[in-house]
Chains A and B, each alone.
Chain A
Amino acid sequence: MPKLTIDGRPIEVPDGTRVIQAARQLGIAIPTMCYLEGLEPFTSCMICQVKNDANGKMVPGCSALVEEGMKIVTLSDEVKKARKFTLELLFSDHVGDCEAPCHRVCKSHINIPSMIRHIIEDDLDGAVEVLREAAGATNLPCHGCEGTCEPGCRRGKAEAPIAIRDLVTFVHKYGEEKQMFKPEEAAGTKLEKRFNCAIGKLKEGEIDLFVADAYDPVLMGRIEPSDPVKGFTIEEAKKEGSRCMHCDCRKAETCSLRDYADLYGVKQREYQPDDRSRHAQVRQHGDIMYEPEKCIKCGLCIRITELQKETLGLTWIGRGFDVTVATPFNAEISTAVTTTAADCVDACPTAALSYRDHHSEMKANELRGRIAKMGKAVVGAPNIPVSWGSTALQAVAVQPLLPGAKKAGGCGNGGNCGCGK
């Protein structure tokens, strides 16, 4: 049993234990995005770098085996800098918005794309929840706002912006009618200033590709309420909502990359390449969405599909900087990822794999619950983000979570919908 110290605290663990596991036993969380308890380490993301003071070398905590006499430092300026560097590299190759432009400019900070998805999924209660989360009050959140949201709408760059205000009014009216707003609720929760990855100004040609990615790309032209006084009917609202391009990130609240960006004070544009790949959403699958430009190449999904013996599964295509995660032989992702869809989405540390919509997510939650009950869960605890304590540079303890117990979101959707809860 090798004896070592981690951040000065002695520990003795069996041979073959990884540094990250030993640290967890001490309640010290070493950050990682590519390591999943239960799978062999892959040593890819490299934000788990820690320093072994015994030999002065930086080692990946997820893979390094404990050795007699190690003096592991999990958090020092040097370690932090190395992690920040690594994260900034990842962001130089990460194309996507944490929050949609409309969401970011909305004075009430309503997650508009999420609200719209609820509308088009026939889940108006869910849409009201999104409003309540942001605005809380019974008043129409747009009251007194001159309408900053619509100029922010990316679709407006190609043709006309989505009729956001009419949609919010529609949802609010529905909530009022169903008396879903509680007068005692405080108006507006305090906004948390968070790291925001942003695509920024679109380059020539990119906007057309964006429109092509909308749920209904052929639906051109803005729909106005036929009765300006009564506002949108449900059909009209759904039709107008289908024009939304869903620029938002579905996992904005659960994305490890974003959490670590916050934690390490990352600058998104530290490295500015002359060219960037275009943002794309692959929605061939009924339940999951693949956004290749958000992938950090941790390979978790590939390993999961392999381990659980998907017939096709996912694989690496190419190598080096151009390597991508894709299906073999260009198969549709729906035929390649079948039984493992929920596991892959949960394991994915970013929103490269996410649930397509709220329905898929709820379906997955139920399915996951069943699997857990049957005791057949193969994949271990998901990685959960850590934060620093205020007094010491000590990360909070990590309790291994069961599948499905992931950071439950207020909306009941496991926090993956990006609804902000």
Chain B
Amino acid sequence: MSTTGFSIADVDAIVAETGKTPDAVIPILRKIQQKYNWLPESALKRVCETTEITPSGIAGVSTFYSKFRHKPAGKHSVNVCVGTACHVKGAELVIDGIKLNRGIPADQDTDAQGEITINKVACVGCCTLAPVVQIDDAIHGYLTSGTVDRAIRDFLARQKTKKTGPRSNGAPRMASEAGVAEIRIGQGSCCIASGSQDVRESLERAVNELQADVRIKPVGCSGFCDQSPLVEVVDAKGQSSRYAKVHPDEADRIIKRHFRPQGLAGRAKSWVSSILGSMLTDTAWEPVTKYSLDTRDPRVSQFLGPQKHVVTEHYGEMHPLDIDEYIKKDGFKALKEVLAQNNPDKVIQDILASGLRGRGGGGFPTGRKWTLVRAAKGSPKAVVMNGDEGDPGAFMDRVVMECYPFRVLEGIAIGAHTVGASKGYLYIRAEYPLAMERMEAAVKIMTEQNLLGKNILGTGFDLDVRVMEGAGAFVCGEETALLASIQGERGMPHFRPPYPAVKGLWDMPTLINNVETFACVSWILRNGPAAFASMGTEKSKGTKVFSLSGKVKQGGLIEVPMGITIRQIVNEIGGGCEEGRTFKAVQIGGPSGGCIPDQLADTPVDYEALLKVGAMMGSGGLVVMDDTDCMVNMALYFLKFMQDESCGKCTPCRVGTKRMLDIMERLVVGKSRAGDLQRLEDMSGFIKTGSLCGLGTTAPNPVLSTIKYFRDEYEAHIAGRCPARKCTAFIQYTINEDCIGCTRCAQACPTDAIQITPYVQHHIDLAKCVSCDMCNQACPVDAVQIVAKPPSLVKATPVAAAK
């Protein structure tokens, strides 16, 4: 891998299969990196020799996107998600944990053995399993600084013994038929991350052994993301039982609970093995029913109660890539009608009447955008799906692409036909490999069935669809930057107007809509615009998909009618915060949005209402925070994210966010200067009005909204206190007399700050302590306490050390 020499033949082969035009640069770089794990300079030079790509072009592009590496990497990549949900659940501690355990110095990313390279990644979209680490392609959830090393060691050990086969694409094995029992198992990233593939294999084994008359069907996300892997058993009569957090070992018992073995011999065999099973494991049936969920279960009915499923229609019961099933459930009905009627004006009227607005965050009326592109002069035209969902804490678009690819593509085809576009591009962010795979597969299937491609269904309508993978740049969610990226350039936005509707991709009039927007289209046309408009508020119609995560009992993917209040979402759907914790605020709209504090939680989900309280709809990430979360730390987190993701083009965003960050970083270590709060507010104003694109104009929002609602916390930090005891500069660890002397803390401590003293109260050497929290996690009796650091000590720490 990392040591593999570069070969001209490899690079030439990559160029041959990818293309020689400048827009091939990102796919070429991606493939070179796949080959070598990094981008050897000699390979890039070879690309320049054999293509139209210039040295300055390839150097600029390859250093813009964070996925590309310019130095060798370890054999395996350990991507630590630092999305919002992971952040609030301790992602930074997880990174520290890996580095401390594997002896990686703070300023480096690869261990001495060259086994692993740590990368911070911006949200892999498995927020309900936070904190999440992706080791190569596999996602591991619920890790802590104490457990992450174990996960890595297990992974490395497995690599030595096991040859990994290609990941199952989840191709449909058999179509569902009425009257036949089904076992549905989730195939979204969250489910796969929590082991649904292994569960599926166990289920298949169990079914084969029992010869039960049942089909195992991989299905899309059911929304219960933090209960995954989720197995739903539907018997021949349609009775459904759900099992949450299923372990592969439990598959056998689930099957036996519902299905009788075929034939006497089978029954006897089953009887013997189940006796053996219950003898060997005294838990018997208990684990199977432990997580049994039922719609009559109050938690489930509460979670599902206020939801309305438009984008996620037939959630959790369809195979994502089973086109026959999709058609059976009215799929492509809308597209076929649109093509048959060939009346684009009528389609636009319907979309306008439905009140659908862009779901990517801005909320521009979709019908009006379609009108503009339809009216724009120029041919050909293009349609682009914006699947670059980058807000940390948001994973709606990932799930929609993974689970409803046909629905999205149907919307795209209708949009393309309406505006007169013949070229389609799906731009999907690099962190979503499964979404990419499913969308590509769906395009292929639809093309085979003549639902895409040339002369679609004999109507003369052409639409060629290409899938483009992003390469790690949040700013590419901005439409002009996204277009630049498709064109093989650095993802730097340009000033609008001209809008893409007039002059977009390669100067073609271009329709860009978000994944969710496209996914709404077919429902609206099938059910009529009035049905859609009947949901929601005066100006915000229909439903909105949110990813609910953070400090709630039940997180997951939810779809709610517009107008529902934030409090309803948190308390009813999310089940409120954990026992003993109080709800503090919810961050909505990701880093561009703002926080909504408890006292404003009755704000409805409505574009204008959210703006009014200083937040925004955004793409739909909802991260709930409780009283243990520090709002200054949150604001710092979001600002740091935006500053990292700034493309660097315009001064206010490039330098302004950096200077704001300087102030915030001083604040959380107790080194603030006089007038810093006022300065933050003043700078925010100039950055908001003076930045080129949406990233810069919204970057100060989290700071502004937290200053507005949690000014007392800022003032506490200035005074040298962190009320939530989160900011490490203001806290220290101590062990109280509850200590039973079990030595676990000392064993867990990576810096030897705790001496092993069996049966005696332990002590922490503060000079060595790095506040990694591992002792706290290891302690069985809660004897490790976090206390405020004396102000004199806070002041004494030099700025550099404090940071």
Q: Do A and B come from one complex?
A: yes
In Å, the complex CA distance between A44 and B690 comes to 10
B651/A316 in contact, CB under 8 A: no
B652/A46 in contact, CB under 8 A: yes
B644 interface contact, C-beta 8 A: yes
In Å, the complex CA distance between A328 and B655 comes to 24
In Å, the complex CA distance between A378 and B58 comes to 25
Looking at A134-142, A170-178, A196-204, A307-315, the stretch in contact with chain B turns out to be: A307-315
Once A313-B56, A314-B56 are accepted as A-B contacts, the answer to whether A323 and B495 lie under 8 Å apart by CB is no
Chain A residue with Cβ nearest B691: A46
Most buried by B among A58, A63, A65, A86: A86
CB distance from A346 to the nearest CB of B (A): 20
Residues on the B chain within 8 Å of A328, using CB: 55-56, 58-60
A43/B494 in contact, CB under 8 A: yes
In Å, the complex CA distance between A64 and B496 comes to 8
In Å, the complex CA distance between A41 and B498 comes to 12
B44/A329 in contact, CB under 8 A: yes
Most buried by A among B44, B657, B692: B692
B44/A297 in contact, CB under 8 A: no
Chain B residue with Cβ nearest A313: B56
In Å, the complex CA distance between A47 and B654 comes to 14
B473/A319 in contact, CB under 8 A: yes
B469 interface contact, C-beta 8 A: no
A315/B57 in contact, CB under 8 A: yes
B 369-427 contacts with A by CB, 8 A:
none
Once A58-B690, A321-B648 are accepted as A-B contacts, the answer to whether A329 and B643 lie under 8 Å apart by CB is no
In Å, the complex CA distance between A312 and B643 comes to 30
In Å, the complex CA distance between A82 and B689 comes to 9
CB distance from A6 to the nearest CB of B (A): 18
CB distance from B144 to the nearest CB of A (A): 31
B337 interface contact, C-beta 8 A: no
Residues on the A chain within 8 Å of B462, using CB: none
A305 interface contact, C-beta 8 A: yes
Residues on the B chain within 8 Å of A144, using CB: none
Q: How many B residues face the partner with a CB closer than 8 A?
A: 44
Residues on the B chain within 8 Å of A57, using CB: 689
B654/A63 in contact, CB under 8 A: no
A361 interface contact, C-beta 8 A: no
CB distance from A338 to the nearest CB of B (A): 14
B686/A319 in contact, CB under 8 A: no
A49 interface contact, C-beta 8 A: yes
Interface residues on A, range: 35 or more
Looking at A88-96, A112-120, A212-220, A385-393, the stretch in contact with chain B turns out to be: A88-96
A60/B495 in contact, CB under 8 A: yes
CB distance from B178 to the nearest CB of A (A): 54
Once A317-B60, A320-B643 are accepted as A-B contacts, the answer to whether A45 and B651 lie under 8 Å apart by CB is yes
B45/A329 in contact, CB under 8 A: yes
Residues on the A chain within 8 Å of B662, using CB: 271, 273-274
A264 interface contact, C-beta 8 A: no
Once A42-B649, A302-B56, A315-B56 are accepted as A-B contacts, the answer to whether A321 and B686 lie under 8 Å apart by CB is no
A306 interface contact, C-beta 8 A: yes
Choose from A45, A86, A274, A296 the contact partner of B800 (Cβ within 8 Å): A274
Chain B residue with Cβ nearest A311: B55
Residues on the A chain within 8 Å of B657, using CB: 321
Choose from A64, A81, A302, A312 the contact partner of B55 (Cβ within 8 Å): A312
B648/A43 in contact, CB under 8 A: no
Residues on the B chain within 8 Å of A63, using CB: 494-495
Residue-by-residue, is B96-123 near A (CB-CB < 8 Å gives 1, otherwise 0)? Answer: 0000000000000000000000000000
B517 interface contact, C-beta 8 A: no
CB distance from B509 to the nearest CB of A (A): 16
Residue-by-residue, is B646-689 near A (CB-CB < 8 Å gives 1, otherwise 0)? Answer: 11111110111111001000100000000000000001001001
A228 interface contact, C-beta 8 A: no
In Å, the complex CA distance between A156 and B317 comes to 79
Residues on the B chain within 8 Å of A297, using CB: 648-649, 651, 654
B629 interface contact, C-beta 8 A: no
CB distance from B584 to the nearest CB of A (A): 31
A 241-282 contacts with B by CB, 8 A:
271, 273-274
CB distance from B428 to the nearest CB of A (A): 20
A89/B652 in contact, CB under 8 A: yes
Residues on the B chain within 8 Å of A273, using CB: 658-659, 662
A92/B659 in contact, CB under 8 A: yes
Most buried by A among B59, B666, B800: B59
In Å, the complex CA distance between A313 and B683 comes to 36
Chain B residue with Cβ nearest A318: B63
B1 interface contact, C-beta 8 A: no
B497 interface contact, C-beta 8 A: yes
B55/A329 in contact, CB under 8 A: yes
B303 interface contact, C-beta 8 A: no
In Å, the complex CA distance between A48 and B339 comes to 48
In Å, the complex CA distance between A60 and B689 comes to 10
B490 interface contact, C-beta 8 A: yes
A306/B56 in contact, CB under 8 A: yes
Once A63-B495, A297-B648, A305-B56 are accepted as A-B contacts, the answer to whether A316 and B64 lie under 8 Å apart by CB is yes
Residue-by-residue, is B115-148 near A (CB-CB < 8 Å gives 1, otherwise 0)? Answer: 0000000000000000000000000000000000
B606 interface contact, C-beta 8 A: no
Residues on the B chain within 8 Å of A81, using CB: 686
Most buried by A among B63, B643, B649, B692: B649
A85 interface contact, C-beta 8 A: yes
Residues on the A chain within 8 Å of B490, using CB: 316, 319
In Å, the complex CA distance between A89 and B652 comes to 7
B479 interface contact, C-beta 8 A: no
B655/A315 in contact, CB under 8 A: no
Once A44-B649, A44-B650, A329-B45 are accepted as A-B contacts, the answer to whether A313 and B54 lie under 8 Å apart by CB is yes
B650/A312 in contact, CB under 8 A: no
A319/B646 in contact, CB under 8 A: yes
In Å, the complex CA distance between A54 and B58 comes to 42
Once A273-B662, A315-B59 are accepted as A-B contacts, the answer to whether A46 and B655 lie under 8 Å apart by CB is no
Residues on the B chain within 8 Å of A58, using CB: 689-690
Choose from B473, B646, B655 the contact partner of A89 (Cβ within 8 Å): B655
In Å, the complex CA distance between A92 and B683 comes to 14
B647/A90 in contact, CB under 8 A: no
In Å, the complex CA distance between A92 and B659 comes to 8
Residue-by-residue, is B466-498 near A (CB-CB < 8 Å gives 1, otherwise 0)? Answer: 000000010000000000000000100011011
Residue-by-residue, is B54-75 near A (CB-CB < 8 Å gives 1, otherwise 0)? Answer: 1111111001100000000000
In Å, the complex CA distance between A329 and B41 comes to 7
B799 interface contact, C-beta 8 A: yes
B431 interface contact, C-beta 8 A: no
Residues on the A chain within 8 Å of B652, using CB: 46, 85-86, 89
A46/B692 in contact, CB under 8 A: yes
A321/B655 in contact, CB under 8 A: yes
In Å, the complex CA distance between A319 and B695 comes to 14
Choose from A90, A92, A319 the contact partner of B648 (Cβ within 8 Å): A319
Most buried by B among A57, A302, A323: A323
B226 interface contact, C-beta 8 A: no
Chain B residue with Cβ nearest A330: B41
CB distance from B539 to the nearest CB of A (A): 20
Residues on the A chain within 8 Å of B648, using CB: 297, 316, 318-323
CB distance from B380 to the nearest CB of A (A): 22
Chain B residue with Cβ nearest A81: B686
Chain A residue with Cβ nearest B659: A271
Residues on the B chain within 8 Å of A271, using CB: 659, 662
B626 interface contact, C-beta 8 A: no
CB distance from A314 to the nearest CB of B (A): 7
In Å, the complex CA distance between A89 and B683 comes to 10
Which 3 A-B pairs have CB atoms at the shortest separation, nearest pair first? A315-B56, A328-B59, A323-B648
6 additional contacts, CB 8 Å, given A49-B690, A316-B490? A44-B650, A58-B690, A86-B652, A90-B655, A93-B655, A297-B654
18 contacts between A and B (CB under 8 A): A44-B692, A46-B652, A46-B691, A49-B690, A85-B656, A86-B651, A89-B659, A90-B651, A273-B658, A274-B662, A297-B648, A311-B55, A313-B54, A313-B56, A316-B60, A321-B646, A328-B56, A329-B44
